[in-house]
Structure 1
Amino acid sequence: MFAIVEAGGKQFRVQEGLTVKVAKMDAEAGSELSLDKVLMAGEGEDLKIGTPYVDGAKVTCQVVEHGRDKKIIVFKKKRRKDYRKKQGHRQDFTTLKVTAIQA
């Protein structure tokens, strides 16, 4: 069984036992977390599609860790104007391990 959930403004396809990197969430590492914004859940004939969310469906996850992604460089330039701006950015993330899907 799989589900499509919304977390941090993005959509993820998850299955039991899968680990997913989402935008940083306020939860302690090692704690249980429930995602109830489930857009689609099931498999084959038992597939349920929400409008916009599936009623009564939730995905239970365990928070594995918090971290920061690799640095990306944001470079802006306006030609012939002697304008250059170089800036780095590292995005915070939370790693979740899916433990159960209820549809």
Structure 2
Amino acid sequence: MYAILETGGKQYTVKAGDVIYVEKLDVEADSTITFDKVLAVGEEGNVSFGAPYVAGAAVDGKVIKNGKGKKITVLTYRPKKDSKRKMGHRQPYTKVEITAINAAK
């Protein structure tokens, strides 16, 4: 069974046992979380779509850790003006392991 869920403005296709990196959530490590914005739930030949979400469907997950991604360097400059600025950025994320997919009954 698989599900398509929405969190942090992005959509993820998940199965039980998958590990996904989502936008940072306000939860502690080793806690459980339930995603209720499920766009579709299905298995082989039987898929149900929501409008926009499937009523009663939920995806359960376990938060493994909160962290930051690798640093990216942003360099802005103006040619021939001797003006430049160097910045770094590390995007925060939450690592979640999907434990169960609950389809609508």
Q: TM-score, normalised to structure 2's length?
A: 0.92
User: Equivalent residue for 2:39?
Assistant: 39
**Using the alignment, how far apart are the partners of 1:54 and 1:78 within structure 2?**
50
Q: CA deviation at 1:44?
A: 3.0
Aligned 1:25-64 pairs, distance under 5 A? 25-64=25-64
What is the count of residue pairs matched by the alignment?
103
Q: CA deviation at 1:41?
A: 1.1
The DSSP-based 3-state class of the residue aligned with 2:45 is helix
User: Equivalent residue for 1:98?
Assistant: 98
**Using the alignment, how far apart are the partners of 2:64 and 2:90 within structure 1?**
19
Q: Which runs of 4+ in 1 moved over 3 A?
A: none
Look up the equivalent residue of 2:9 and give its one-letter code: G
Please give the root-mean-square deviation of Cα atoms over the aligned residues, in Å.
1.0
Q: CA deviation at 1:46?
A: 1.7
Percent identity at matched positions?
A: 46
**Using the alignment, how far apart are the partners of 2:20 and 2:29 within structure 1?**
14
Look up the equivalent residue of 1:61 and give its one-letter code: G
Q: Which runs of 5+ in 2 are unaligned?
A: none
